[in-house]
Amino acid sequence: NYPGKRKQTDADGIEHGVVGSVSLLQNSTLSGQPISSLDWCPDKQGLAVSTAFDQCIRVIITTKLNLY
Protein backbone atom coordinates (compact mmCIF):
# COMPACT_ATOMS: atom_id res chain seq x y z
CA ASN A 1 0.00 0.00 0.00
CA TYR A 2 1.21 3.48 -0.76
CA PRO A 3 2.03 5.73 2.20
CA GLY A 4 0.12 8.96 2.73
CA LYS A 5 3.20 11.03 1.88
CA ARG A 6 5.55 9.68 -0.82
CA LYS A 7 8.58 11.64 0.41
CA GLN A 8 9.83 13.31 3.59
CA THR A 9 12.34 16.09 4.10
CA ASP A 10 15.06 15.50 6.70
CA ALA A 11 16.75 18.10 8.94
CA ASP A 12 19.22 19.00 6.16
CA GLY A 13 16.44 19.68 3.67
CA ILE A 14 17.10 16.53 1.63
CA GLU A 15 14.05 14.65 0.40
CA HIS A 16 13.87 10.89 0.99
CA GLY A 17 11.30 8.39 -0.23
CA VAL A 18 8.88 6.82 2.24
CA VAL A 19 8.48 3.05 2.25
CA GLY A 20 4.98 1.66 1.85
CA SER A 21 3.67 -1.62 3.22
CA VAL A 22 3.27 -5.06 1.67
CA SER A 23 0.56 -7.57 2.47
CA LEU A 24 0.22 -11.11 1.12
CA LEU A 25 -2.97 -11.44 -0.92
CA GLN A 26 -2.47 -14.94 -2.30
CA ASN A 27 0.17 -17.62 -1.95
CA SER A 28 0.82 -19.43 -5.24
CA THR A 29 3.81 -21.21 -6.74
CA LEU A 30 4.92 -20.06 -10.18
CA SER A 31 7.82 -22.46 -10.56
CA GLY A 32 9.79 -25.08 -8.70
CA GLN A 33 12.95 -23.22 -9.76
CA PRO A 34 13.92 -19.63 -8.88
CA ILE A 35 12.38 -16.87 -11.01
CA SER A 36 15.20 -15.17 -12.93
CA SER A 37 13.21 -12.27 -14.40
CA LEU A 38 9.82 -10.61 -14.07
CA ASP A 39 8.50 -7.82 -16.28
CA TRP A 40 5.15 -6.03 -15.89
CA CYS A 41 3.43 -4.67 -19.00
CA PRO A 42 3.15 -0.87 -18.73
CA ASP A 43 0.15 -0.77 -21.10
CA LYS A 44 -2.02 -3.60 -19.75
CA GLN A 45 -2.69 -3.60 -16.01
CA GLY A 46 -2.12 -7.04 -14.49
CA LEU A 47 -0.19 -8.55 -17.40
CA ALA A 48 3.35 -9.79 -16.77
CA VAL A 49 5.87 -12.30 -18.06
CA SER A 50 8.47 -14.25 -16.11
CA THR A 51 11.29 -16.67 -16.79
CA ALA A 52 12.80 -19.24 -14.47
CA PHE A 53 15.83 -21.50 -14.34
CA ASP A 54 13.69 -24.38 -15.64
CA GLN A 55 13.85 -22.60 -19.06
CA CYS A 56 10.12 -21.83 -19.19
CA ILE A 57 8.49 -18.52 -20.04
CA ARG A 58 5.29 -17.85 -18.11
CA VAL A 59 2.64 -15.27 -18.94
CA ILE A 60 1.04 -14.02 -15.73
CA ILE A 61 -2.45 -12.52 -15.69
CA THR A 62 -3.44 -10.84 -12.44
CA THR A 63 -7.06 -9.84 -11.92
CA LYS A 64 -8.95 -7.69 -9.40
CA LEU A 65 -6.01 -5.32 -8.87
CA ASN A 66 -8.42 -2.41 -8.49
CA LEU A 67 -9.87 -3.95 -5.29
CA TYR A 68 -6.70 -3.45 -3.23
The answer to whether position 27 is within a domain reads yes
Residue 30's domain comprises 7-67
| Inside any domain, residue 1 | no
How many domains, the chain? 1
Q: Which residues pair with 8 in a beta bridge?
A: 16
Would 42 be classed as within a structural domain?
A: yes
pTM summary value = 0.57
The answer to whether residue 17 is domain-embedded is yes
pLDDT tens digit sequence for 20-61: 888 887 788 888 999 999 999 999 999 999 999 999 999 999
d(CA 62, CA 50): 13
Question: Do 59 and 44 contact (CB within 8 A), yes or no?
Answer: no
